[in-house]
C-alpha cells in the first residue's frame, strides 16, 4: 500500500498561502518596519529637516530672481524695500514655495525608501489606528481652531509678515491658500512627525521627541509672526497637539488630517475675507474682524 497520499485541497491551499506573501502596494511585508522603529536614524532625520529649511530659504529666491533682473534691466536698480513691497515679487516668491515643497518631498522619499529600496507610506505609518479615526482628527482640529480664535481675540497683536503678504494682492491670497491646504501640511507632516519624530523617539524617548519636534515646527513659523504673541502661542499649541497625536496613536495620518482641516478652514476664510470686509459697518464689520483673526492662525 502506497504511503504517498495526495494532499487534500484545503491542505494544498494552506501551503500555497504559506509560500506566497500577501500583496501590498508598497512592496513585500518583509520590508515594512514599525513607524516607531524606522530604518533611518537621527542623522538622516536631521539632515532631512535642515535640507527642508535651506530649500525654503533658497529656492523662492532663485524663482524670483529672473523677475528682479527684469525690473532692474528695464527700470533701473531699486531699493530693497521697494522690491520687497512689489506685489509681483511677493507673488512669484510664494509660487517658489511649490518647487520647494516638491524638492522637500523628494528628500523625504529618498531617506524613507533608501532610494526606492523600501516602502514609503507604510514605513511612515500612513494609516488609521483602531482608536483614532477621521472624525476624531476633524473634531480635534476644529477645537484647536476655536482655541486659536479665542487666543487671538484676547491677545490681539500687531500686523504680521504674513498679513502683509496676504494684503499685497488677491492672487497672493490664492497661492497661500493653495500652499496651506495642498502641499504644506503633507510635506510638513512627512518631515516633522514622519521622519524626524520617528527617529528621535527611538533615540531619546517619546517625551523629549515631542518637545524637540514641537519646538522645531513652531520655530520655523515664528519669523512670520514674531510680533504677534497670540499667533505664536497658537502655532505652539498646534505643534504640540499634532506631535502628541502622532506619538500616542503611532500613526501619521491622523496628524495630517488635523493639519489639513486646521489650515483648510482658514484658507477658505482667507479667500472669502476681501468680500466679507468690503462693507465696513454692522455685522459685516464684526464678521470681517473674526475672519482676520482666523486668517492669522494659518500655520
In a domain, 9, yes or no: no
In a domain, 14, yes or no: no
What does the alpha-carbon distance between residue 187 and residue 180 come to, in Å, rounded to a whole number? 11
Quote the number of domains for the chain. Answer: 1
Residue 47 domain boundaries: 29-295
Which pTM value belongs to this model? 0.83
Q: Is 74 helix (H, G, I), strand (E, B) or coil?
A: helix
In a domain, 18, yes or no: no
Quick check: 228 and 157 in contact, CB under 8 A? yes
Residue 190: Cβ-neighbour burial (10 angstroms; 0-12, 13-18, 19+)? buried
Q: Mean pLDDT in each 10-residue stretch from start to end of the chain (299 residues)?
A: 47 37 39 84 97 96 90 76 82 95 98 94 95 95 92 76 84 94 96 98 97 94 77 91 97 97 92 75 42 54
Predicted pLDDT at 104: 98
What does the alpha-carbon distance between residue 171 and residue 269 come to, in Å, rounded to a whole number? 15
Predicted pLDDT at 280: 53
Predicted pLDDT at 178: 96
User: What DSSP assignment string belongs to 165-227?
Assistant: HHHH-HHHHHHHHHIIIIIHHHHHIIIIIIIIHHHHHHHH-HHHHHHHHHHHHHHHHHHHHTT
Quick check: 155 and 230 in contact, CB under 8 A? yes
In a domain, 286, yes or no: yes
In a domain, 17, yes or no: no
In a domain, 6, yes or no: no
Predicted pLDDT at 273: 82
In a domain, 20, yes or no: no
Show Cβ contacts of residue 182 under 8 Å, excluding neighbours closer than 6 positions: none
In a domain, 15, yes or no: no
Tell me the H-state helices in the chain: 9-19, 42-75, 80-85, 87-95, 97-113, 121-124, 134-155, 161-168, 170-178, 184-188, 197-204, 206-225, 229-249, 253-276, 282-295
Amino acid at each position: 500500500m502506497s504511503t504517498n497520499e495526495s494532499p487534500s485541497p484545503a491542505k494544498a491551499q494552506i501551503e500555497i498561502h504559506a509560500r506566497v506573501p500577501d500583496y501590498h502596494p508598497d512592496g513585500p511585508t518583509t520590508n515594512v518596519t514599525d513607524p516607531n522603529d524606522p530604518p533611518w536614524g537621527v542623522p538622516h532625520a536631521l539632515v532631512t529637516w535642515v535640507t527642508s529649511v535651506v530649500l525654503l530659504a533658497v529656492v523662492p529666491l532663485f524663482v524670483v530672481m529672473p523677475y528682479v533682473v527684469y525690473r532692474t534691466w528695464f527700470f533701473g536698480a531699486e531699493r530693497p524695500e521697494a522690491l520687497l513691497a512689489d506685489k509681483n515679487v511677493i507673488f512669484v516668491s510664494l509660487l517658489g514655495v511649490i518647487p520647494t515643497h516638491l524638492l522637500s518631498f523628494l528628500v523625504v522619499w529618498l531617506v524613507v525608501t533608501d532610494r526606492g529600496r523600501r516602502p514609503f507610506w507604510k514605513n511612515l505609518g500612513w494609516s488609521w489606528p483602531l482608536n483614532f479615526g477621521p472624525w476624531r482628527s476633524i473634531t480635534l482640529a476644529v477645537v484647536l481652531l476655536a482655541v486659536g480664535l479665542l487666543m487671538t481675540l484676547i491677545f490681539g497683536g500687531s500686523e504680521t509678515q504674513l498679513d502683509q503678504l496676504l494684503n499685497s494682492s488677491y492672487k497672493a491670497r490664492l497661492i497661500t491658500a493653495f500652499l496651506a491646504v495642498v502641499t504644506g501640511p503633507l510635506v510638513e507632516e512627512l518631515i516633522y512627525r514622519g521622519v524626524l519624530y520617528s527617529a528621535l523617539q527611538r533615540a531619546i524617548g517619546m517625551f523629549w521627541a515631542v518637545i524637540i519636534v514641537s519646538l522645531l515646527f513652531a520655530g520655523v513659523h515664528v519669523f512670520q509672526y514674531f510680533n504677534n504673541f497670540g499667533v505664536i502661542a497658537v502655532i505652539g499649541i498646534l505643534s504640540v497637539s499634532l506631535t502628541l497625536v502622532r506619538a500616542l496613536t503611532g500613526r501619521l495620518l491622523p496628524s495630517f488630517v488635523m493639519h489639513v482641516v486646521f489650515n483648510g478652514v482658514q484658507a477658505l476664510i482667507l479667500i472669502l475675507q476681501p468680500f466679507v470686509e468690503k462693507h465696513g459697518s454692522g455685522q459685516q464689520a464684526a464678521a470681517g474682524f473674526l475672519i482676520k483673526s482666523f486668517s492669522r492662525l494659518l500655520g
